[in-house]
Amino acid sequence: MVAQMVQPRAQCLTRLSENARAGTVSPMGLLDGRSAVVTGAGRGIGRDIALCLAAEGAKVVVNDVGVSLGGEGTGEDPAAQVCKEIEAAGGNAVPNHDSVSDFEAAGRIIATAVDNFGGIDIVVNNAGIVRDRTLVKMDEADYDAVIAVHQKGTFNTVRHAAPLMKDAGYGRIVNITSSAGLRGNFGQTNYGAAKAAIMGMTFVWALELGKYGITVNAVAPAGVTRMTENLYKGTEPPADQDPALNAPLIAFLASEGASYVNGQVLGRTGFGYTLFQTPRQIATMWREGGWTPQEVADHFHEVLGQHLQPVGMGDHPLLGKKD
């Protein structure tokens, strides 16, 4: 990548290095002294989140099992490498190699933070795999594997962390979702289902945990990673596709200053951060006493049919058209 593509990441490492030379780690950072877990933090977006949280003063558990995009073992140890980067720059990080898809293993991820840092303040659920296929070509194993990591993995880590946060009266949970789940994307039944479920869990947990000083939000990030690098087919990605650009928003959501932000779905487009409008009723077709099927057919287009919503990344060619 060109120099401008790595600038946000370089800023995080530079800040850590400057603090190390001064003999302390980010005393004025947003997350000074906080204990964080970032899953899937060995590469891509997760790596940049871990670097950014550390630069803001957090002590970070860098979780990554070191698998391929499809979830197969590789023998690599990206979690340890990210920890070395953080430590070399003056930060505090420990690796963890457990899989979020296993409930007991997810407990060990949270326990790593408790054992090394004395507690758990922040959980960023970023771990993920993809096995993209259209519905008619997808088998059960493809579906189950992706759901296990994204959806169940998010439940697993939070189920172990939430009681500890509740007892402490403080917590920040950031769940990584995707427009594939919020809007739909071709060939991603499993991934889209998991990411939509993560949005739903975010809403429920925000309601349940808010009274204990715990906020729960979701972020749909953007950027060139292993999951998306084929989109550019050898050409240089634009600067606004740097995955490190997502991290500052997540660092803010993980901070004390974001106590008023709860149950929200945010995202990134270009150099801007966005706020999604959550699903809500936008139009009503009403008739005293109810409707017959034929009456619905007669009036649907002229009322609800004028407000149909697009799915996916572009408008459906037949959306709203009749005959």
Q: Rounded to the nearest 10 degrees, what angle do helices 78-88 and 44-55 cross at?
A: 30
Is 143 a catalytic site residue?
no
Side chain identity at residue 158, one-letter code:
V
Q: Residue with structure tokens 């290095």?
A: 17
Angstrom distance (rounded) from CA 155 to CA 102: 10
- Kindly name the residue from 170, 191, 232, 260 that is annotated as catalytic: 191
* Closest CA relative to residue 188, chosen from 150, 234, 244: 150
Is 49 within 8 Å of 246 (Cβ atoms)?
yes
Helix (H, G, I), strand (E, B) or coil at 255: coil
**CB distance 128 to 96 below 8 Å:** no
Question: Angle at Cα 101 formed by Cα 245 and Cα 9, nearest 5°?
Answer: 15
**Residues classed as catalytic:** 191
